[in-house]
């Protein structure tokens, strides 16, 4: 079943006009949301840690700032644009005591609410507006009169206006110009985690490294292995981004196409499919979330150790050497 998509005509900015909007976190998303809402005529205050880097940045950008405890006070809408692992503590310290009818809590990713790391009381609205692109693009396209498509979701609708507020927010940051796709906290969280684990980050980096290792172990030079298994990915991805798989296949040779359609399923076989289903199962049952929450509570020992090991993989050393020959990369 296809999702409902909303556009500018479905959104009413007056839902948020004259309300106090507090943005906590001034990084990739926070800066873009705050600046776009400000330029859309909404009343935005950025909650900052006094003297911090983002406090200076927000002030340089001409936005009103306040320390977190003051900024959240009598806010009508609080946008959580902090790193996800930081949000629960900030919620408990500054926001939970203020929860009252009429308050809206807004998230750009569903993890904390879906997995119960933040449990807002029933009298507040809990919504999500999540742009499907990085903050810089959200800001740049808005400034150019366009927008990045967004997701909108309602977890709690105490006021009866939760969706309308979400659509107004999406309009104010430019997303409604492109389209706002309706989803749920559960669907956004689970599909986001699955995508990054199985395909975009986990699956892809393991695929590249394994291809590289097989060629090097077979005696081919690491330079050749790197070009063929890693570097050329950029060409392929750009073609898929532009026009899908069919467009990519239009530009590769017939030999590459034949290898693609006959050998791909031999790599991504039933065994890999079963592994992917297991990842999804761990996401759906909360097993992955528990592991990541506990890892953070333990100050990330496994995270640090594995990232260090990854950074020392030969594929990184060869890549660095080859990139130094590609001056245009800057």
Name the residues annotated as catalytic.
109
Q: Which does 205 bind (CB under 5 to 8 A by kind): Mg ion, ligand NAD, none?
A: none
Residue 315 Cβ vs ligand NAD, minimum distance, rounded to whole Å:
25
Q: Which H or E element spans position 204? A: helix 202-217
Q: Does 187 bind Mg ion (CB under 5 A)?
A: no
Residue 166 Cβ vs Mg ion, minimum distance, rounded to whole Å:
20
Which residue's Cβ has the minimum distance to ligand NAD?
27
Q: Starting at the earlier edge strand, list the strands of the sheet with 20-24.
A: 5-6, 180-182, 150-156, 125-131, 104-107, 77-80, 20-24, 43-48, 65-67
Spatial CA neighbour of 21 closest among 168, 149, 133, 142 = 168
Q: Which H or E element spans position 68? A: helix 68-71
Residue 66 Cβ vs ligand NAD, minimum distance, rounded to whole Å:
11
The smaller minimum CB distance to ligand NAD, of residues 114 and 222, is found at 114
- Exactly one of 10, 12, 192, 213 binds Mg ion (CB under 5 A); that residue is 192
- Exactly one of 123, 196, 228, 317 binds Mg ion (CB under 5 A); that residue is 196
Distance (Å, rounded) from C-alpha 134 to C-alpha 131?
A: 8
In degrees and rounded to multiples of 5, residue 145 shows phi and psi of 80, 10
Q: By CB under 6 A, name the binding residues for ligand NAD.
A: 24-30, 49, 54, 68, 81-84, 86, 90, 108-109, 130-131, 134-135
Residue 55 Cβ vs ligand NAD, minimum distance, rounded to whole Å:
9
The smaller minimum CB distance to ligand NAD, of residues 135 and 203, is found at 135
| Whether the Cβ atoms of residue 247 and residue 240 lie closer than 8 Å to each other | yes
Q: Which residues of the shown chain bind Mg ion in the complex (CB under 5 A)?
A: 192, 196
């Amino acid at each position: 079943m296809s999702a409902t998509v909303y556009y500018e005509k479905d959104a009413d900015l007056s839902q948020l006009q004259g309300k106090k909007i507090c943005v906590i976190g001034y990084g990739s998303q926070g800066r873009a949301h705050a600046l776009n809402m400000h330029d859309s005529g909404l009343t935005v205050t950025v909650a900052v840690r006094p003297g911090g880097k983002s406090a200076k940045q927000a002030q340089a950008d001409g936005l009103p700032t306040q320390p977190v405890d003051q900024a959240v006070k009598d806010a009508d809408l609080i946008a959580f644009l902090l790193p996800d692992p930081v949000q629960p503590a900030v919620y408990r310290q500054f926001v939970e005591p203020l929860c009252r009818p009429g308050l809206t809590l807004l998230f750009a990713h569903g993890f904390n609410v879906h997995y119960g790391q933040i449990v807002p009381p029933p009298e507040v609205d809990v919504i999500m507006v999540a742009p499907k692109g990085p903050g810089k693009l959200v800001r740049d396209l808005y400034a150019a009169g366009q927008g990045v498509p967004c997701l909108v979701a309602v977890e709690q609708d105490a006021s009866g206006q939760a969706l309308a507020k979400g659509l107004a927010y999406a309009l104010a940051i430019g997303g409604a110009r492109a389209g706002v796709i309706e989803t749920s906290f559960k669907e956004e969280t689970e599909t986001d985690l699955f995508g990054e684990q199985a395909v975009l980050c986990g699956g892809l980096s393991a695929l590249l490294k394994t291809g590289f290792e097989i060629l090097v172990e077979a005696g081919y030079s690491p330079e050749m292995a790197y070009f063929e298994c890693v570097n050329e990915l950029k060409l392929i991805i750009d073609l898929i981004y532009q026009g899908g798989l069919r467009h990519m296949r239009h530009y590769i040779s017939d030999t590459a196409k034949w290898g693609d359609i006959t050998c791909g399923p031999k790599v991504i076989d039933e065994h890999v499919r079963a592994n992917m289903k297991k990842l999804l199962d761990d996401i759906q049952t909360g097993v992955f979330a528990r592991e990541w929450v506990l890892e953070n509570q333990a100050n990330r020992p496994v995270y640090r150790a594995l990232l260090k090991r990854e950074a020392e993989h030969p594929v990184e050393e060869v890549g660095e050497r080859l990139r130094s020959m590609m001056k245009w990369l800057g």
